[in-house]
């Protein structure tokens, strides 16, 4: 069962504005929910919305990560950032810490609703949920802030995000290209199959119609159709005012170094981390670090033919830390 909810954010967490954030909660058969269920909070990358985690592609099946996890008895909460998807667009300029604070407020409200049985009709109160966060790409940046500054999650999964230096490469996979803001309006963006990010985002065996729809006009997608899983804005909306962009070194050095829970790091065979095996060094306080490279996958893992390998690894990792690192 899935249900879309609009979570009201306290104006104190939203710089005085009255804002709501949209999430999709996917739950398994209640008979599958154990005493301490995993509760996944998942945030998408820049230019994407919560539906990246619950892909429903016409004529195709097996692309919903949410359905995979709920099939294992977990609860899955796919979250929009403020300013994208079904969430409100703020009037003010929000930075990374502001967005992370709002995301933290969503986590608190969802967990409170699960604990007292008020989140979804028919879902009984859950006394011991085990919350895990995952963030893909820009969502990983914001998840790093959330955990460092609010500490709400029992483990965090960074998917296609570098705690050291995030770099996007060109179609050959060998050279850095300009940040997304410098690509807007260029002719290459009018054809998704020839987009400069083609190979960095999608491995060669991803169906061309998916690639074309996903990358058409990316990142702004101005004047072109926006896919169901996409958005024309970065997290925070059109007035987004980050301290700095997501690319380059030392974007979250201090925040990553403050994380004290288990960390799962996943990259595609072609991705945005220059040296995936060096990534654990970004998290010196984490007691348990797992890293993997997903074969036959590029940056947008949930479109890859091997996506279920990643989903299985995530579910097994989270189940393991629930046993190995129980609450104090």
Angstrom distance (rounded) from CA 237 to CA 234: 6
Q: Is residue 151 assigned to a domain?
A: yes
Non-local CB neighbours of 18 within 8 Å, separated by 6+ positions: 8, 9, 11
- The pLDDT tens digits of the residues spanning 253-301 come to 999 999 999 999 999 999 999 999 999 999 999 999 999 999 999 999 9
Angstrom distance (rounded) from CA 157 to CA 43: 10
Angstrom distance (rounded) from CA 27 to CA 29: 7
- The pLDDT tens digits of the residues spanning 209-247 come to 999 999 999 988 888 899 999 999 999 999 888 877 888
Q: Is residue 289 assigned to a domain?
A: yes
Q: Is residue 217 assigned to a domain?
A: no
- What confidence tier does 61 reach under pLDDT thresholds 50, 70, 90? very high
pLDDT value, residue 176: 54
Q: Is residue 205 assigned to a domain?
A: no
pLDDT value, residue 193: 86
Indicate the SS3 state at residue 182. helix
Longest dimension (CA), the chain: 55
Domain of 68, CATH number, reads: 3.40.50.1820
Shortest CA distance to 49 belongs to which of 17, 6, 82?
Answer: 82
**Residues of the domain holding 105:** 2-165+228-324
- The pLDDT tens digits of the residues spanning 95-134 come to 999 999 999 999 999 999 999 999 998 898 998 999 999 9
Q: Is residue 254 assigned to a domain?
A: yes
pLDDT value, residue 45: 97
Residue 173 has pLDDT above 70, yes or no: no
Q: Is residue 62 assigned to a domain?
A: yes
Q: How many domains does the chain have?
A: 1
Q: Is residue 237 assigned to a domain?
A: yes
Indicate the SS3 state at residue 4. strand
Backbone φ and ψ for 5, nearest 5 degrees, come out as -125, 145
Q: Is residue 78 assigned to a domain?
A: yes
């Amino acid at each position: 069962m899935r249900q879309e909810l609009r979570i009201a954010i306290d104006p104190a967490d939203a710089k005085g504005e009255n804002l709501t954030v949209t999430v999709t909660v996917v739950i398994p058969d209640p008979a599958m929910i154990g005493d301490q269920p995993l509760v996944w909070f998942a945030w998408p990358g820049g230019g994407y919305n919560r539906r990246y985690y619950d892909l429903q592609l016409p004529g195709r099946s097996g692309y919903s990560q949410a359905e995979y996890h709920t099939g294992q008895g977990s609860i899955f909460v796919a979250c929009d950032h403020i300013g994208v998807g079904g969430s409100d667009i703020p009037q003010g300029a929000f930075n990374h810490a502001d967005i992370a604070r709002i995301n933290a407020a969503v986590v608190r409200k969802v967990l409170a609703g699960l604990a007292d049985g008020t989140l979804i009709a028919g879902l009984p109160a859950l006394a011991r949920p085990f919350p895990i966060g995952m963030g893909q790409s820009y969502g990983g940046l914001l998840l790093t802030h959330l955990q460092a500054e609010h500490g709400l999650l029992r483990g965090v999964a960074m998917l296609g995000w570098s705690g050291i230096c995030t770099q996007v490469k060109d179609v050959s996979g060998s050279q850095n290209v300009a940040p997304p803001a410098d690509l807007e309006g260029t002719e290459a963006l009018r054809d998704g199959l020839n987009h400069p990010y083609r190979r960095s985002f999608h491995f060669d065996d991803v169906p061309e119609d998916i690639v074309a729809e996903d990358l058409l006009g990316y990142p702004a997608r101005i004047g072109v159709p926006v896919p169901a899983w996409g958005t024309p804005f970065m997290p925070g909306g059109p007035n987004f005012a980050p301290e700095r962009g997501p690319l380059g070194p030392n974007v979250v050095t201090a925040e990553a170094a403050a994380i004290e829970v288990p960390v799962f790091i996943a990259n595609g065979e072609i991705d945005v981390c220059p040296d995936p095996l060096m990534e654990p060094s970004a998290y010196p306080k984490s007691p348990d670090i797992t890293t993997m490279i997903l074969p036959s996958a590029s940056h947008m893992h949930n479109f890859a033919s091997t996506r279920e390998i990643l989903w299985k690894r995530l579910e097994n990792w989270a189940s393991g830390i629930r046993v190995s690192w129980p609450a104090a």
